[in-house]
Structure 1
Amino acid sequence: MKDNFSKQATEYSKFRPQYPDAMIDYLVSFVNNKGVALDIATGNGQVAQKLSSFFETVYGIDISQNQLNNAIPTENIIYKVAAAENTFFKNQEFDLITVAQAVHWFDFDLFYKEIYRILKPDGIFAVLGYGLFSTNADSDKIVQDYYRNIIGRYWDAERKYLDENYKTIPFPFDEIVTETFENKLTWTFEELIGYLETWSVTQHYISKNNKNPIDLIYDDLKISWQKSDKKVTFPLLLRIGKLK
């Protein structure tokens, strides 16, 4: 598993969009027992915190201590440093296991072997994520050019799984057909730029070129944003399965 987010952990916790409650409620509705849940690659604990309202105990693991330092403290959440493919949990421990916006970074074979080990026989496994947001036509044009042309060649190869809406990831489970969800937000310009700053590819570009690629679009995007309704829509990705 790659660690692409330790460097910008504080910004990640501040600017990454939350998953809407309706999506979490829907996911949890498939879980029979609400004993113990696990959120893998929990980052700043967004999903873990939402699950904590439903489960007696929630574990959140991540390979980045910096991310966990910015995680949301909640009484029934236990945060630990651990890799997705090699955890310290007992066999058949969890009623629900989630991984949000991270499964594409994992070694699939090792990861799924671990899921089969630690998920209860009647448990639920869920992959969550979100694709590239859309907004007003003028700002969309600028962001799409940034995404595909300015920083396009700096994306990790694994990004393709998100571009393909997680439809092409291996998924060795009895899959449950799910509803589709969107996340609609209203952002200030600071929030828009803050989110773009959290992209791993932005950091890759800075490391290679010693300059921030956002500077190349900043002025045009600001003018565009000030004239817009400042609304963004994220397509949400959700795959739910049970052990075969």
Structure 2
Amino acid sequence: MAGKNWFDRGGQAYAQFRPEYPAELAEVLASLAPTTDLAVDVGCGNGQLTVQLAAHFDAVIGVDPSADQIGNARLHDRVRYVRAPAENLPVPERSACLITAAQAAHWFDRRAFYNEVRRIAVDDAVLALVSYGVMHLAADLDERFQHFYRTEIGPYWPEERALVDSGYADIDFPFDELSAPPMQIRKEWDMNGILGYISTWSAVRKAAEAGKSEVLESFAADLTELWGDPAATREVVWPINMRLGIV
């Protein structure tokens, strides 16, 4: 990753609380690839998408610069994890038929990453940059959450987060583009799940490092009051955004 790796620690929490992608995502990506020999998932974190791709490909390589993330990665017979940056992929030339980066490409030096994509891609390989946007809660909770996200914790987001907020619409993408089908992530979470997920945010870590934990505590107190029974589950929805291209 270029610059600070916000996820170098906390891989266990990341594995526990980050939402899973719908199975439909890996199925669609596999259907677009020219073959199903090898998929490479870059910035794979703890392997959420990586393992899902293994249901459709003969082999999958998950690449991440964080030893902690890989140490907490999900295992699968057809998945091999390696520690490396997106800008220097330990993958043979002309071997990958699908290259993915899920909730990760906004951190990359994309010029260097795209050079690596071109090097490892077979003819007509597919590149998929996937992100999920800001979550939405039930109406009685969402106004307080959106204020927290945009106003209270907003100043602590790294500048790269703006690319996620725009649904990757503003990301540089020098490939022949394919249309992406609409998808969402849907979860039923109790309050512990919501706060656990928020705890994995880079902005939350930055606010805590800046000594602004009161921002987090105030939001948690308000959410607790609005939520009611903390064991009760509520629906949480994230829009999935993608840039798909032929290499």
TM-score normalised over the length of structure 2? 0.94
User: Alignment partner of 2:60: what SS?
Assistant: strand
Q: Is 1:201 the counterpart of 2:198 in the alignment?
A: no
Q: Which residue among 217, 233, 244 is the counterpart of 1:240?
A: 244
Within 1, Cα distance between the matches of 2:215 and 2:20? 25
C-alpha distance in 1 between matches for 2:109 and 2:233: 41
AA aligned to 1:199 is W
Deviation, structure 1 residue 52: 0.7
Q: CA 1:72 to 1:212, structure 2 compared with 1: closer, same or farther past 3 Å?
A: farther
Of 34, 38, 45, the match for 2:36: 34
2:50 counterpart SS class: helix
CA distance in 2, matches of 1:128, 1:111: 15
Q: Tell me the secondary structure at the aligned position of residue 210 of structure 2.
A: helix
Q: CA deviation at 1:239?
A: 1.7
**Equivalent position of 2:110 in the other structure:** 108
After TM superposition, the structure 1 = structure 2 runs for residues 170-209 of structure 1, keeping only pairs within 5 Å, are 170-209=172-211
Residue 210 of structure 1 deviates from its aligned partner by 6.1
Distance 2:216 2:225 in 1: 14
- The CA distance in 2 between the partners of 1:136 and 1:224, in whole Å, is 11
Q: 1: distance between equivalents of 2:121 and 2:66? A: 23
The offset of 1:212, in angstroms, is 5.9
Per-residue CA deviation, residues 93-141 of structure 1 (Å, 9 max, x unaligned), is 1011100001000111111111111111121111111000111123111
Contact 2:191 2:233 in 1 (8 A): no
- How far residue 176 of structure 1 moved from its aligned partner, in angstroms, is 0.6
2:122 corresponds in structure 1 to 120
Matches within 5 A, 1:10-29: 10-29=12-31
Range with greater deviation from structure 2 (154-163 or 24-33): 24-33
Compute the displacement of 1:229 (Å). Answer: 6.2
**Aligned position for 2:86:** 84
Q: In structure 1, how many angstroms separate the alpha carbons of the residues matched to 2:76 and 2:233?
A: 35
| 1:49 aligns with one of 45, 51, 63 | 51
Q: How much has 1:214 moved relative to structure 2?
A: 2.1
For the aligned residue pairs, the C-alpha RMSD in angstroms reads 1.4
User: What is the one-letter code of the residue matched to 1:57?
Assistant: A
Output one character per residue of 1:44-74: Cα deviation in whole Å (capped at 9) or x when no partner. Answer: 0011100111111110010000000000011
Q: Distance in 2 between matches of 1:191 and 1:71?
A: 19
Q: How many angstroms apart in 2 are the aligned matches of 1:210 and 1:158?
A: 21
Q: How many residue pairs get matched?
A: 243
Runs of 4+ in 1 over 3 A off after TM superposition: none
CA distance in 2, matches of 1:21, 1:225: 29
Structure 2 unpaired stretches of 5+: none
Question: Residues 180-212 of structure 1: CA distance to partner in whole angstroms, max 9, x if unpaired?
Answer: 111121101110000000001000011111636
Q: Kindly, what percent of the aligned residue pairs are identical?
A: 34
Matches within 5 A, 1:136-215: 136-209=138-211, 211=213, 213-215=215-217
Letter in 2 for 1:108: R
* Distance in 2 (alpha carbons) for counterparts of 1:105 and 1:212: 28
Change (3 A) 1:54 1:171: same
Q: Secondary structure at the match of 1:29?
A: helix
Gaps of 5+ in 1: none
User: Could you tell me which amino acid in structure 2 is paired with residue 75 of structure 1?
Assistant: D
Q: Is the 8 A contact 1:202 1:212 kept in 2?
A: no
- Deviations 1:156-192, CA, capped at 9 Å, x for gaps: 0000001100011011111111211111211011100
